[in-house]
Structure 1
Amino acid sequence: MTMSESLAIELQFSGGMELLFDNKKTIHTKVPAHFRQGADSHAVTIRDLIGWMASHLLKERPELFIGPDGSVRSGILVLVNGADWELEGELEYELQDGDEIVFISTLHGG
């Protein structure tokens, strides 16, 4: 990972997730390349991204996006550059410049 100040990433939402993000299906954004916790600094992870999204992009109903553990709630499929995030380390995946992160709700009303 480069030591730049921010990373350009693309966020995509579908299955109703876009309704929580101002009805946008795609958001091109920049996130800090490193997060600081106390005196420590670390490369930004998906765990950090979820919190950042909640405070900067989420427009309503955070309980439909974030679970009690600070991760995405169950029923949301997360893809990192087209691969299931479970193959990439889930919350601990370190974001790279140009990453594409997709959030798909698998829960639908009937």
Structure 2
Amino acid sequence: MVKVHIELSGGLELLFGNQKEHDVDVPVCEGQEALTAGQVVVWARDNMLRERPELFVKGNSVRPGILVLINDCDWELSGGIDSPIAEGDQVVFISTLHGG
């Protein structure tokens, strides 16, 4: 298990019981040495998401329009879904899509 701090904003918190911050223990997949950002996305979908998964995920990644930051750095700079997640890391999901 890896302790991860997850934050949601831009409206995503509404899909997660209207709670913006979560401290969770995410299991490392069997046969893997380290936790990845993609595994955090799938775990959050399966264990935290309360409604409308199609607004959060597409396949095993986040939908287009959702910015993911790992320790305040865009996950695209560290490998996207393959980015390693260590004990105590912060993962932030921000929806950039808004109605109007």
TM-score by length of 1: 0.86
Structure 1: any 5+ residue segments left out of the alignment?
1-5
Structure 1 residue runs of 4 or more that deviate by more than 4 Å after TM superposition: none
Once the two structures are superposed, the pairs formed by residues 45-84 of structure 1 within 5 Å of their partners are 45-67=36-58, 69-84=59-74
> Which residue among 31, 35, 40 is the counterpart of 2:29?
35
Q: For 1:79 and 1:108, locate their aligned partners in 2 and report how far apart those are by CA, in whole Å.
A: 19
Report which of the two structures shows the higher radius of gyration computed on alpha carbons.
Answer: 1
CA RMSD of aligned residues (A): 1.0
Deviation string for 1:10-44 (max 9, x for gaps)?
Answer: 00000000001110110011111x202xxx33422
> Which residue among 62, 68, 81 is the counterpart of 1:91?
81
Residue type at the aligned position of 1:65: F
Q: For 2:5 and 2:65, locate their aligned partners in 1 and report how far apart those are by CA, in whole Å.
A: 21
Deviation string for 1:32-70 (max 9, x for gaps)?
Answer: 1x202xxx3342211111111111100000000001x32
Contact preservation (8 Å) 2:2, 2:35: no
1:94 Cα deviation after fit: 1.4
* Percentage of matched positions with identical amino acids: 46
